[in-house]
Amino acid sequence: MSQGHRITVEKGTAHVRVVHGDQVLAETDRPLVLRETGSPVRYYIPAEDVRLDLLTPSDTHTVCPFKGTASYWSLPDAADLVWAYPDPKPGVAEIKDHLCFYEVEVTD
């Protein structure tokens, strides 16, 4: 990690729900909370709590020097709405098999 850049991952207890239009895409009480310097808090949701049947893998990939290479999924009307790190770097290994959405509802 570069100086001053930090990533922490912890088990969350909040109820996290992802709704797009009128469809619930994901809902969990066991998110991972990822905090990264310079970025908003992100909630990583276990794959089994995500409606993967509604999502289509996209050809988009991005590389994060701290987390690894991300893969993306889309809805017909929302490209690259969700991403995951199939083979994350050791420092964030916990986020494997978890997906992250740009817009989530969080309730305690």
Query: What does residue 40 show for φ and ψ, rounded to 5 degrees?
Result: -70, 160
Query: What does residue 35 show for φ and ψ, rounded to 5 degrees?
Result: -110, 130
Q: pTM of the entire structure?
A: 0.93
- Ordered by start, the domain boundaries in the chain are 7-107
What is the pLDDT at residue 4? 83
What pLDDT, in 10s, does the model give residues 40-87?
999 999 999 999 999 999 999 999 999 999 999 999 999 999 999 999
Residue type, position 62, single letter: T
Give the separation between CA 95 and CA 86, rounded to whole angstroms.
Answer: 9
What pLDDT, in 10s, does the model give residues 74-102?
999 999 999 999 999 999 999 999 999 99
CA angle 86, 87, 90 (to 5 degrees): 140
Residue whose C-alpha is closest to residue 81's, from 89, 71, 90, 91: 71
Please give the CATH number for the structural domain made up of 7-107.
Answer: 2.170.150.40
- CB atoms closer than 10 angstroms to residue 54: 14
What is the pLDDT at residue 98? 98
What is the pLDDT at residue 2? 57
**Do the bridges between strand 23-28 and strand 15-20 make them parallel or antiparallel, or are there none, so unpaired?**
antiparallel
Give the separation between CA 54 and CA 74, rounded to whole angstroms.
Answer: 9
